[in-house]
Amino acid sequence: MNKLKASVSNEGKFPRIDANLSGGCGLAVNLSIIFDEPRRHDIILENKGVQIRIDHFTKRYLNEEIHIDYTDEQGFLLGEHFESGPCTIEMT
């Protein structure tokens, strides 16, 4: 959380949970934490004074609960639970 707070609002960029698709043969959804500008109709979650943005599209790919962690080696981690490894949903 402190790491998130520290990273907030440098140059009008805000933390966001973002789903990105990659295709080719089938589609995979990758979830990650990024810092960027607000998008229209963002949903804003607030936790311990930190606002996190999610766009309409990303919301589809998130469960009710989502955990965020930070380690120096791996940066921000995102998952339903961390044993599940990288947060990727394969859709083929």
Partner 1 sequence: MVEYNELIFEMSRQGRIGSSLPESDVDKVDLHDKLPAHLIRDMPAELPEVSELQLIRHYTALSNKNHGIDNGFYPLGSCTMKYNPKINEDVARFEGFSRIHPYQPVETVQGALKLLHELQEDLAEVTGMDAVTLQPSAGAQGEWTGLMMVKAYFEQKGEKRIKVLVPDSAHGTNPASATVAGFKTVTIPSNEDGLVDLAELKKHVGHDTAALMLTNPNTLGLFEKDIVDIAKVVHEAGGLLYYDGANANAILGKTTPGNMGFDIVHLNLHKTFTTPHGGGGPGAGPVGVKEKLIPYLPVPRIEKENDQYVLNSHHPLSIGRVKGYYGNFGILVRAYTYIRTMGPVGLRQVSESAVLHANYLRKKLEPYFESPYSQYCKHEFVLSGSRQKKLGVRTLDMAKRLLDFGYHPPTIYFPLNVEECMMIEPTETESKETMDAFAEAMIQIAKEVEENPDVVLEAPHTTIIGRLDEVQAARQPILRYSKEE
* By CB under 8 A, residue 91 contacts partner 1: yes
Give yes or no for a contact between 3 and 72, defined as CB atoms under 8 angstroms apart: no
Among 55, 66, 68, 76, binds partner 1 (CB under 8 A): 55
Tokens of 4: 């998130």
Overall residue count recorded for the chain in this entry: 92
Site for partner 1 in 56-85 (CB under 8 A): 56-57, 60-61
* By CB under 8 A, residue 39 contacts partner 1: yes
Other Cβ atoms closer than 10 A to 54: 19
* By CB under 8 A, residue 86 contacts partner 1: no
Rounded distance, CA 9 to CA 5, Å? 9
| Positions in the binding site for partner 1 (CB under 8 A) | 21-25, 27, 29, 37, 39-42, 55-57, 60-61, 89-91
